[in-house]
Structure 1
Amino acid sequence: MVHTPTSPPQKLSKLEGIKENSNFLREPLATEILEETTHFTENAVQILKFHGSYQQDNRDNRVKGQEKDYQMMLRTRNPGGFIPPQLYLTLDRLSDEYGNQTLRVTTRQGFQLHGILKKNLKSAIAAIVNSMGSTLGACGDLNRNVMAPPAPFKNRPEYQYAWKYADNIADLLTPQTEAYYEIWLDGEKFLSAEESPEVVAARQRNSNKTLFPNKEEPIYGVHYMPRKFKCSVTVPGDNSIDVYTHDVSLVVITDEHGQLQGFNILAGGGMGRTHGKEETFARLSDPLGYVAKEDVYDAMKAIVATQRDYGDRVQRRHARMKYLLHDWGVEKFRAKVEEYFGKPLEPFKPLPEWKYQDYLGWNEQGDGKLFLGISVENGRVKDEGSFRLKTALKSIIDQFELPMRLTANHNIILYEIEPSQKAAIEGILHDCGIITNPQEVESLTRYSMACPALPTCGLAITESERALPGIIGRIKQVLTKVGLEDEEIVIRMTGCPNGCARPYMAELGFVGSAPNSYQIWLGGSPNQTNLAQPYTDKLPDKDIEKFLEPLFAYFKQEKASKESFGQFCHRVGFEALRAFSEGYQPIKVRRIRKNQHRVSVPDEMFTRLKEASEGEKRPMNHIVQEALEAYFSQKQSN
């Protein structure tokens, strides 16, 4: 019996009924996948999410009176961002055969395939599972992909523990229904890896009513979770995974010899919110306590059971665990967790300050091998012009059979690289236009993130991934104008307030609020340790430079030593920012009159010049300038 925190009981949301009547995630999906239609019904779409896919349509192709351009987005579930070489090559092939010829690294360390037609979905999922991958639980009201630092340090045991327990927590909370294998693999259960015996035992141990005994879903029951549930495992000081933004974060605690002792637990983080609904908000997680390593699985089950049984199943906007902690308070929440756990949690252990790291460039693994972090702008793996990351990665994985780890900032880490392979890998990347030196990556781009938004996401209010590169270029111009051309700022953008790129932790966050308009958030920190706050609700895209110039000018004038833009905004406060902006006089840039000097050329020469310009696709004045520079250079040498 699922309890709710409301009394007397209220009518559950429609989706709770769909889950209950699905026969553990089977129907109506199992029936509709066999039908020769272009899309699923709404009820099937809700169950499809649990299997790792969202039904979308390409909004660029919408035509009034015609059926939508339906397509499926498929998302992988790979704890700690681990992608074995055979899985990557399969995803690369599927993106070409069935998708839109690109792959998208997500901000939860997974891959997304976009553009898959309904008729090809079963073949795509089967191929992924048979290549040591999975999509089960990548979406839906259950535990999502478990995150962990992507750095493959072999000489730092705490990093290896983080990977191990990310895998184990993912296994513990994986749906046990056979529906996934029945629908996509015709009942053949393909095990990509053997589960740890301690995980199997923990899943079967019904301590203090954390389980539904003898049920197909012993942890989740027929209703699964009230909303999505997100976990991470990290090491002290490493905030490469936005530690405060998850429902549960475990922090590895070792002794002076590097032996695992237990885990600190943080709980109650989450980014999603809704414009105009003040009862929805982004929230940072709270320290909950410490648990010894042998008790970590029971502690996780206790937290899951608390949210499962007391999370709001009436209002989905209020259903994430962060609202339960907010409404109850940390003490009441901890007491209920301890009731399921069967004993008190120990006090939270002291931790060093958190620091964001992206691990770009060449690094030592600690065992004689190397790893390489590659910056992927907005996470999109594609071939476009001289930038051919998709070609480069396929060539490298094909030739060297390297595993990869995806990062929470949608970058890619290749590892297990022999030093003798470095030159060849560098050569492939260089030939494909890929930068391997992080110092050569534009800093605003390096620390930025965007969600996919338009045209595929049905929730998008405005552009994000397609807009951010151009907006970053404009921001760079404003920074240069005020004398801050070398400034590093964490910029994040989403096309709606759901916060998939975690804009509420950014120093400068853009959140879609209307077509071509953004709500602006200011005051996050470079290490993602405090929430930004909303500064203005609806900034038109065309006014970005006008809006930012006074803020950057004030920052340059009054910033403290080594203070970042986000820290500055947090310190001086929004009232001071607005007061300075109101009295600000824009910097005047002297404009050079166009065509200030004219030179005439014969008609025949002009015709030839025009033909060259059209053939080379560059302005005529560029060709003239090049010719004159060559002339004067030759004159000078003579």
Structure 2
Amino acid sequence: MSAAVGGAEFHGFGGAAQLPRSRMLGSIRAVSTPLKKDAKEVKRSKVEIIKEKSNFLRYPLNEELVSEAPNVNETAVQLIKFHGSYQQSDREVRGQKNYSFMLRTKNPSGKVPNQTYLAMDTLADEFGIGTLRLTTRQTFQLHGVLKKNLKHVISTVIKNMGSTLGACGDLNRNVLAPAAPYVRKDILFAQETAENIAALLAPQSGAYYDLWVDGEKIMSAEEPPEVTKARNDNSHGTNFPDSPEPIYGTQYLPRKFKIAVTVAGDNSVDILTNDIGVVVVSDSAGEPVGFNLYVGGGMGRTHRIETTFPRLADPLGYVPKEDILYAIKAIVVTQRENGRRDDRRYSRMKYLLDSWGIDKFRAEVEKYYGKKFEDFHPLPEWQFNSYLGWQEQGDGKLFYGVHVDNGRLGGQAKKTLREIIEKYSLDVSITPNQNLILCGVDQAWREPITAALAQAGLLEPKDVDLLNITSMACPALPLCPLAQTEAERGILPILKRIRAVFDKVGIKDEESVVVRITGCPNGCARPYMAEVGFVGDGPNSYQIWLGGTPNQTTLAETFMNKVKLQDIEKVLEPLFSYWNSTRQEGESFGSFTNRMGFEQLKEVVNKWEGSASAA
């Protein structure tokens, strides 16, 4: 796609040769402005054509949904993502594909009303596989829904205060924020900001409601006026006038877009892995006054293509709190206009940042923002917060963070949680570490809730191995079509093996490392931020990544490729033994590996002949 700049056609990153910077300062036209007849056609991926011809995400999905087939065609597969669903099949069932659909909800800051939770729990039993999956972006995933039941399931979600709109697809995904229900100015402001950003960037065409609830107007909270004002403002050429999608147009974004909001010091959201990281800045009295912004983070990559890579976000600048929606919109529009649309492997905003550099990117965003960004405000060191166990909310009530291995709720644990949530009319919140928070608990309910959870096998955090507390895994096999090996089903045995290695080399029970596992290189469980990341690169085979840190501020690097599942101790035992005997006081494993360097560590692995004394 192209935008007219200074009377010429400027082809964004990845298109034709770019104009000199001196000629890129004129007025900017939006991406779906018709090209001149003699303009050279810019190469676009097939998904771009599908979006353009879809009548704002309707066609041919509307026809495919009413066909007798158990699946939808490839064009509709691309469109249904925007509605919050992926078509899948069980890869372990041979013969004809048994199609089903995975649904993902949209829950800004992870908030889930009581009514929505109970509806999701029921839908999982009646139309899914009997489990609910808590995700790394604070949402639910519901697996195994048949096409014939899709409309009923999605309409039920909508009618119970939920949504799946924009949970997948080439637009802004779920906006993260600290999940803890603390009654604290900065936390509440971060959560409110996440909800406003989600509303600002939600699709507006109405196709979602046309398809799933026959255009019915469902009662919902009225949109804050500042959101409507920011969306409609076209002072700096950001919008498509008279379009059903004033920000997205017919093309939407080049690729998925991820945003997280947090408060100073709280890195429960993996802030640097997002396209935009938003950090609340407060004054000395604790009053929120503005935001620091990071841009250009992202995890996904492709094996054996070194030009694809994970990337940490760069500091962009500071904005006062009243300008945040306009700044976010300006960043999104910069990506909309300049992100690559010819090759989806390079369409994330991180590649635009890598190509342009932060200074050029900032200057381009400032055109759409209409102001200069201020300098970053100082921030304290980041820390990872799990929010598990019993804690005071600050309003006389408690919350309880429930550790859920891999975020998978099923069996007695799922049944007991429903009983508790229903009996006490509790709202819940999903954390970015795949756990669940019970909110607004009266002091008198603490003892019976603790007892019920323990009976269901949901242990208090003090009784859970620290390796499990900080670990994450994506669902992977058998339903994810991209998975090359196990992740969710394999992580618990791997964690037990790591703990056994710890015992063997003399590392104490109260010590841990951050372990994350994905079945493919897309990085949904953010393995490239882990101290030990396992990334599937073949059947029962993993890349091992080392060098992330416990507070998720350092990017790991590939240490070894094609490590077979049965051989992981051959790599990890010498490394953990070396760490235990050589580390500095309080030095994490990730910091240790970065200090020693991979050349030295590989030599240790290659020369290993057996465990050192654990004495």
Q: Secondary structure at the match of 2:507?
A: coil
- Aligned twin of 1:618: none
- Aligned twin of 1:502: 526
Matched, 1:239 2:262: no
CA distance in 1, matches of 2:375, 2:573: 47
- Aligned twin of 2:8: none
- Aligned twin of 1:199: 227
- Aligned twin of 2:55: 23
CA distance in 2, matches of 1:70, 1:11: 33
Q: CA deviation at 1:583?
A: 2.1
Q: Secondary structure at the match of 1:208?
A: coil
Is the CA contact (8 Å cut-off) linking 1:461 and 1:496 kept in structure 2?
A: yes
After superposition, residues 226-625 of structure 1 pair within 5 angstroms as 226-383=254-411, 388-436=412-460, 438-486=461-509, 487-587=511-611
Q: Secondary structure at the match of 2:236?
A: helix
Could you tell me which runs of 5 or more consecutive residues in structure 1 were left unpaired when the two chains were aligned.
590-638
Q: Which letter does structure 1 place at the counterpart of 2:401?
A: G
Q: CA deviation at 1:76?
A: 0.2
CA distance in 1, matches of 2:580, 2:281: 40
CA distance in 2, matches of 1:290, 1:421: 43
User: With structure 1 as the length reference, what TM-score do the two structures score?
Assistant: 0.90
CA distance in 2, matches of 1:158, 1:480: 41
Q: Percent identity?
A: 55
Q: CA deviation at 1:431?
A: 2.1
Matched, 1:40 2:69: no
Is the CA contact (8 Å cut-off) linking 1:476 and 1:485 kept in structure 2?
A: no
- Aligned twin of 2:117: 88
CA distance in 2, matches of 1:52, 1:582: 47
Q: CA deviation at 1:254?
A: 1.6
Q: Secondary structure at the match of 1:59?
A: coil
CA distance in 2, matches of 1:550, 1:134: 48
CA distance in 2, matches of 1:485, 1:346: 46
Q: Secondary structure at the match of 1:291?
A: strand
Moved more, 541-550 or 74-83: 541-550
Cα offsets for 1:249-275 (capped at 9, x unmatched): 111112122222111100000000000
CA distance in 1, matches of 2:220, 2:139: 17
Count of residue pairs brought into register by the alignment: 581
Given candidates 174, 194, 197, the residue that maps to 1:169 is 197
Runs of 4+ aligned residues of structure 1 deviating over 3 Å after TM superposition are: none
Is the CA contact (8 Å cut-off) linking 2:129 and 2:143 kept in structure 1?
A: yes
- Aligned twin of 2:166: 137
Moved more, 191-200 or 88-97: 191-200
CA distance in 2, matches of 1:258, 1:418: 27
Q: CA deviation at 1:191?
A: 4.0
- Aligned twin of 1:214: 242
CA distance in 1, matches of 2:608, 2:285: 57
CA distance in 2, matches of 1:261, 1:357: 23
CA distance in 2, matches of 1:99, 1:150: 26
Is the CA contact (8 Å cut-off) linking 2:404 and 2:458 kept in structure 1?
A: no
Q: CA deviation at 1:207?
A: 2.2
CA distance in 1, matches of 2:582, 2:391: 37
Q: Which letter does structure 1 place at the counterpart of 2:369?
A: F
1:548 to 1:135, Cα distance in 2 relative to 1, 3 A: same
Cα offsets for 1:406-442 (capped at 9, x unmatched): 0000001111111011112112212212112x12111
Is the CA contact (8 Å cut-off) linking 1:207 and 1:341 kept in structure 2?
A: no
CA distance in 2, matches of 1:198, 1:581: 57
Is the CA contact (8 Å cut-off) linking 1:2 and 1:308 kept in structure 2?
A: no
Is the CA contact (8 Å cut-off) linking 1:125 and 1:184 kept in structure 2?
A: yes
CA distance in 1, matches of 2:292, 2:600: 38
Q: Which letter does structure 2 place at the counterpart of 1:271?
A: M
Q: CA deviation at 1:192?
A: 2.5
Moved more, 418-427 or 117-126: 418-427
Matched, 1:113 2:142: yes
CA distance in 1, matches of 2:225, 2:413: 40
1:191 to 1:337, Cα distance in 2 relative to 1, 3 A: farther
Cα offsets for 1:31-68 (capped at 9, x unmatched): 1111121000000000000000000001111x2xx320
Q: Which letter does structure 2 place at the counterpart of 1:140?
A: G
Is the CA contact (8 Å cut-off) linking 2:116 and 2:161 kept in structure 1?
A: yes
CA distance in 1, matches of 2:211, 2:217: 11
Cα offsets for 1:66-90 (capped at 9, x unmatched): 3201010000001000011110000
Is the CA contact (8 Å cut-off) linking 2:574 and 2:611 kept in structure 1?
A: no
Could you tell me which runs of 5 or more consecutive residues in structure 2 were left unpaired when the two chains were aligned.
4-11, 18-40
Q: CA deviation at 1:404?
A: 0.7
Cα offsets for 1:142-197 (capped at 9, x unmatched): 0000000011110x200000010000000000000111001000111324321101
Q: Which letter does structure 1 place at the counterpart of 2:172?
A: N
Q: Which letter does structure 1 place at the counterpart of 2:580?
A: K
CA distance in 1, matches of 2:474, 2:538: 16
Q: CA deviation at 1:2?
A: 4.5
Q: Secondary structure at the match of 2:381?
A: coil
CA distance in 1, matches of 2:219, 2:279: 28
Cα offsets for 1:80-125 (capped at 9, x unmatched): 0001111000000000000000000000000000000000010000
CA distance in 1, matches of 2:342, 2:111: 36
Moved more, 169-178 or 471-480: 471-480
Matched, 1:52 2:84: yes
- Aligned twin of 1:103: 132
Q: CA deviation at 1:588?
A: 8.8
Q: Secondary structure at the match of 2:137?
A: coil
- Aligned twin of 1:14: 46
CA distance in 2, matches of 1:281, 1:587: 35
Q: Secondary structure at the match of 2:92?
A: helix
CA distance in 2, matches of 1:491, 1:392: 28
Cα offsets for 1:314-353 (capped at 9, x unmatched): 1100000000000000000000000111111111111000
CA distance in 2, matches of 1:191, 1:276: 49
RMSD: 1.3
Is the CA contact (8 Å cut-off) linking 2:570 and 2:605 kept in structure 1?
A: no
- Aligned twin of 1:626: none
Cα offsets for 1:429-480 (capped at 9, x unmatched): 12212112x1211111111000000000000011110011111111111111
